[in-house]
Structure 1
Amino acid sequence: MSLPWTPDEVADLPTIGDRVDTLTDQSRIPGGPGARLRVVRQEATAFRREVPGTGTPDSIVTCDLVTLPYPTRFGLFRASRSVAPFLSITNRMLVIRWSDSGGTRRILLFEPSDWELGRYTPYFDSVAQRTPEVVQRQVVTEHGTVRQHLGRLGIAPEDVDYLMFDHLHTQDLRRWVGTTAHQDDLGEQPVAVFPNAKVIVQRDELAGIADLHPLQKPWYQPATYADVPAEAFLPIEGSVVLGPGVAVVKTPGHVFGNQSLVLNTATGIWVSSENVIAAEALTPEHSRLPGVAKWSRSWQQEVVLNANTVETTADQYNSIILEKTLADRSQTDPRFLQFFPSSELTGAWTNPGTRPTFVHRAITHSSA
């Protein structure tokens, strides 16, 4: 597949944020994965002390998008003893608002998945082809679209400044940022729903989409990027602070260019990504999910990965330790951390043995 822009053109695009010098890109840490893990713990501890000093955003609102099945062997990598081949996850969007140093109000949508088009991701499309429609209606719950939620919140699409995903698995951005050509499958040349928004993405992931490895191919829709203009992206390298209490931390492993959202709120520091699918995956010793606590003890693993791809598994483990070190403890149950899975494990009668011990369901914050 060829993209309409070259890596050099992407490298010349403007970027965003104040670089976090405390955190070193894992690829630049000398030594093996064990050495990198030690450095990650140390640097995450240092950055954790810095985050409160950046301030807090004006508000954070959580919006449910869709609940859908996901293989248990991926979501609870090797740890689950559930008989259910699938569990359920709920995809959610965060709407974060803040004022920048010049007083301009900013709006970031984190995980604004166009799930209506995301279903054509090769893996999910192949599952749908094998699943009767009557069964699909039983296991998929559509909560609301991105546009419906913004309408409810009174946010005009043209007021959105940034779109961000922890990674671009399943994402089809054409309706959000527009295209440069007619789209045969959509029957139109999409005009950007968010005409003033830019997609914050790690340069590593843009490079990966341009030349997918076989391990990646079931999870991306590369053809949908062929007519997306390069200027729709704000590529970053590493970790940056976007605004008061809002930071992006590079967390490679789940994909090469994975990134996590860090938020400083009235209840302390939150971290959000899809590196794990449940808060208890960061403290598996407290999990009541069948097999998880025992597996953690037996294998001396302090986290349980979400591993539908195993691109660089050791790096993903290290990245989750970074997230675990940054997040404050939950005020609801201090056994668990304020880690908010962008796709959170959700109990369902169809999936015995996969009901989570603890769920967040939302991040809610207002500085008013």
Structure 2
Amino acid sequence: MKLAWQDADIADMPTLGTRVAAFDGLAEVPGGYGAKLAFARTRAEAFRAEFATTGTPDSVTTCDLVTLPYPTSFGLFRASKAIAPFLSITNRMLVIRWTESGGRRRTLLFEPSDVELGRNTPYFAALARRTPGPVRTLLTTEHGTVQGHLARLGIEPDEVDYLMFDHLHTQDLRRWVGTTRPQADLGGAVAPVFPNAKVIVQRHELRAMSELHPLQRPWYQPETYRDVRPDAFLAADGGLVLGPGVAVVDTPGHVFGNQTLVLNTSTGIWASSENAIAAECLAPEHSRMPGIARWARAWGQEVVLNANTVETTADQYNSLVIEKTLVDRSQADPRFPQFFPSSELTASWTNPGTTPTFAHRAIHHTT
């Protein structure tokens, strides 16, 4: 797939923030994945202490976008005994604002999914074709749009500095950052909704999109990046502290270039990604969903993966342990960590056996 950029463009893409050195050397740890897990846990504890000293952002606001069906066998990988073949997940956008030391205000949108164009993702498009219209309507609920939420919050599109996703599955960014050529399916020339925004993405993922593996193809829309200009991206090589209490950490697994948003708030430290779909997937011993706790005990595993591509399963397990180690416990129920899935398991009467024991639903923070 020929994209708008060549490998040389990816190599030369600018980056930002202060590099997180805590996890340097993880990939080279001798002794296999077990040794990497022990190293990762220790380094996450060290970074947690360091990150807590960076301060807090000005605000974190949660905005619901869409609730949609997702295979139970993916979201609760191997562990669930639910009879429902599908569960429901709610995709949410986080709006994070902070002030730099020089006084400049910054705005980051985490998971600002273009829900309409996301439907063209091969997996979801195929699922829609097999599902009668009334059933699709029953199973899918759109809660609001990215632009609508920002208008409600009084944020102008040109105030947005950064867009970030934990990974680029399902994402079509053309309307957000514009294109270099007219797009037939979008009615011609595409001017960016966010003219000043840059997309923060791991360099690994950009490189992978130019030649997808068969396991990856159902989940990406690489053709939509053909005419996205290269200067819309900021390529990261691992973790970065972006501002006071705002960081991104490299957490490969769900995809090789997966990344996690880490926030220091008035309720402590949070992490958000799609490595898991529920907080209880990081504390399965407390889950009341059928099969989850028993599976964790039987196999001696402390996390339950969200595994649709199964690109690097052991890496994903280790990344979830990093996320679990970084965060504080929920004030609402201390049994569960402040891991906020970017697409969170949501109760639905249509999906018996998949009602979460506990759900965060939102992160609230203001100073």
Which category of TM-score, normalised to the shorter sequence, fits these structures? over 0.9
- Equivalent-residue separation in structure 1 for 2:355 and 2:70 (angstroms): 13
Secondary structure, in 3 states, of the residue corresponding to 1:218?
Answer: helix
Aligned AA (2:360): H
Q: How much does 1:257 deviate?
A: 0.4
Residue equivalent to 1:219: 219
Contact kept, 8 Å, 2:204 with 2:256, in 1: the verdict is yes
Secondary structure, in 3 states, of the residue corresponding to 1:88?
Answer: strand
Secondary structure, in 3 states, of the residue corresponding to 1:322?
Answer: helix
Q: How much does 1:24 deviate?
A: 2.2
Secondary structure, in 3 states, of the residue corresponding to 1:359?
Answer: coil
Say whether 1:91 aligns with 2:99: no
Contact kept, 8 Å, 1:60 with 1:94, in 2: the verdict is yes
Say whether 1:108 aligns with 2:108: yes
Residue equivalent to 1:193: 193
Secondary structure, in 3 states, of the residue corresponding to 1:41?
Answer: helix
Q: What does residue range 190-339 of structure 1 map to in structure 2 within 5 Å?
A: 190-339=190-339
Secondary structure, in 3 states, of the residue corresponding to 2:49?
Answer: helix
Q: What does residue range 22-61 of structure 1 map to in structure 2 within 5 Å?
A: 22-24=22-24, 26-61=26-61
Aligned AA (1:85): P
Aligned AA (1:273): S
- Equivalent-residue separation in structure 2 for 1:336 and 1:172 (angstroms): 33
Q: How much does 1:101 deviate?
A: 1.9
TM-score (norm 2): 0.99
- Equivalent-residue separation in structure 2 for 1:111 and 1:28 (angstroms): 31
Residue equivalent to 2:342: 342
- Equivalent-residue separation in structure 2 for 1:301 and 1:148 (angstroms): 41
- Equivalent-residue separation in structure 2 for 1:267 and 1:161 (angstroms): 25
- Equivalent-residue separation in structure 1 for 2:350 and 2:238 (angstroms): 40
- After superposing on structure 2, the runs of 4+ consecutive aligned residues of structure 1 that deviate more than 2 Å are 24-31
Contact kept, 8 Å, 1:74 with 1:308, in 2: the verdict is yes
Gaps of 5+ in 1: none
Residue equivalent to 1:356: 356
- Equivalent-residue separation in structure 1 for 2:140 and 2:205 (angstroms): 29
- Equivalent-residue separation in structure 2 for 1:304 and 1:202 (angstroms): 24
Q: How much does 1:26 deviate?
A: 3.7
- Equivalent-residue separation in structure 1 for 2:230 and 2:101 (angstroms): 27
Aligned AA (2:120): Y
Contact kept, 8 Å, 1:25 with 1:238, in 2: the verdict is no
- Equivalent-residue separation in structure 2 for 1:233 and 1:21 (angstroms): 22
Task: Report the identity percentage.
Answer: 70
1:83-105 deviation line (CA, Å, top 9, x unaligned)? 00000000000000001121100
Q: How much does 1:10 deviate?
A: 1.6
TM-score (norm 1): 0.99
Contact kept, 8 Å, 2:45 with 2:325, in 1: the verdict is yes
Q: How much does 1:182 deviate?
A: 1.1
Aligned AA (1:157): P
Aligned AA (1:73): S
RMSD of aligned Cα (Å):
0.8
Say whether 1:10 aligns with 2:6: no
Q: How much does 1:247 deviate?
A: 0.4
- Equivalent-residue separation in structure 1 for 2:27 and 2:42 (angstroms): 16
Q: How much does 1:28 deviate?
A: 3.5
- Equivalent-residue separation in structure 2 for 1:27 and 1:73 (angstroms): 29
Contact kept, 8 Å, 1:26 with 1:315, in 2: the verdict is no
Contact kept, 8 Å, 1:169 with 1:219, in 2: the verdict is yes
Report how many residues are paired: 367
Contact kept, 8 Å, 2:16 with 2:234, in 1: the verdict is yes
Secondary structure, in 3 states, of the residue corresponding to 1:195?
Answer: coil
Aligned AA (1:58): D
Secondary structure, in 3 states, of the residue corresponding to 1:339?
Answer: coil
Q: How much does 1:185 deviate?
A: 1.3
Aligned AA (1:301): Q
Q: How much does 1:25 deviate?
A: 5.9
Contact kept, 8 Å, 2:279 with 2:338, in 1: the verdict is yes
1:166-199 deviation line (CA, Å, top 9, x unaligned)? 0000000000000001111112221000000000
Q: What does residue range 133-212 of structure 1 map to in structure 2 within 5 Å?
A: 133-212=133-212
Secondary structure, in 3 states, of the residue corresponding to 1:152?
Answer: helix
Secondary structure, in 3 states, of the residue corresponding to 1:319?
Answer: helix
Secondary structure, in 3 states, of the residue corresponding to 1:341?
Answer: coil
Aligned AA (1:24): D
- Equivalent-residue separation in structure 1 for 2:255 and 2:208 (angstroms): 9
1:8-33 deviation line (CA, Å, top 9, x unaligned)? 11211210110011122643333311
Contact kept, 8 Å, 2:10 with 2:207, in 1: the verdict is no
Secondary structure, in 3 states, of the residue corresponding to 1:340?
Answer: coil
- Equivalent-residue separation in structure 2 for 1:223 and 1:21 (angstroms): 34
- Equivalent-residue separation in structure 2 for 1:189 and 1:348 (angstroms): 40
Gaps of 5+ in 2: none
1:75-132 deviation line (CA, Å, top 9, x unaligned)? 0000000000000000000000001121100000000000110010000000001111
Q: How much does 1:279 deviate?
A: 0.2
Contact kept, 8 Å, 1:76 with 1:304, in 2: the verdict is yes
- Equivalent-residue separation in structure 1 for 2:4 and 2:299 (angstroms): 46
Residue equivalent to 2:125: 125
Contact kept, 8 Å, 2:79 with 2:296, in 1: the verdict is yes
